[in-house]
Amino acid sequence: MKPEILIGDLVALPFRVGAVVNAANEGLAVGGGVCGVIFRAAGSGLHGACDKVAPCPTGEARMTPAFAINAEHIIHAVGPKYRDGSAAERALLASAYTSALQLADDVGLESIAFPAISTGIYGFPPEEAALVVHAAITAFTPTNLKRCLLVYRSEESAAPAREAAAK
């Protein structure tokens, strides 16, 4: 599957997607960064929905309704906290993306939109993450998914993903 890079707001895309992916924590609780933005945009119902499917180990994903976000579902994918690159961080990040893709594909969704999981407060270097993410997505063979979006807030934040795609 070939990812598309989009500059925009993950929770306010100008079109409906099958799933928006949340850069979640293992407890599927409201957090900072993208996670906090998604919880605020979705509304109060998301808390209870997350409680029903939590916990979610690092490298895995869970699904809830999207509530007020313009999507059918939110897929909560838990990426790793980056330490020094020697604690299976790359494999766990790839697994978080693959798990989200598989979950979306299994329920028949045709599109999915990802943030840059683990590159914010979890400290994963964006350039390294972009290589891992590109490899994980391009290796995924979907049955139903037709579109995979990587959504960035700016051209600057999208640059590592564009470089990874060009390699």
Q: Contact 85/128 with Cβ under 8 angstroms?
A: yes
Rounded Cα gap, residues 75 and 21, in angstroms: 5
86-96 residue pLDDT tens: 999 999 999 99
Cα angle: 120, vertex 153, 91; to 5 degrees:
40
Structural domains of the chain, count: 1
Q: For residues 167 and 159, give the distance between their C-alpha atoms in angstroms, rounded to a whole number.
A: 13
Give me the CATH number covering residue 28: 3.40.220.10
pLDDT at 151: 98
The boundaries of the domain holding residue 16 are: 3-166
Given a cut of 90, whether residue 167 has pLDDT beyond it is no
Express each pLDDT in 43-56 by its tens digit: 999 999 999 999 99
Write the pLDDT tens digit of every residue in 65-111.
Answer: 999 999 999 999 999 999 999 999 999 999 999 999 999 999 999 99
Q: Is the whole-model pTM more than 0.75? A: yes
Q: Which two tokens stand for residue 48?
A: 């209870």
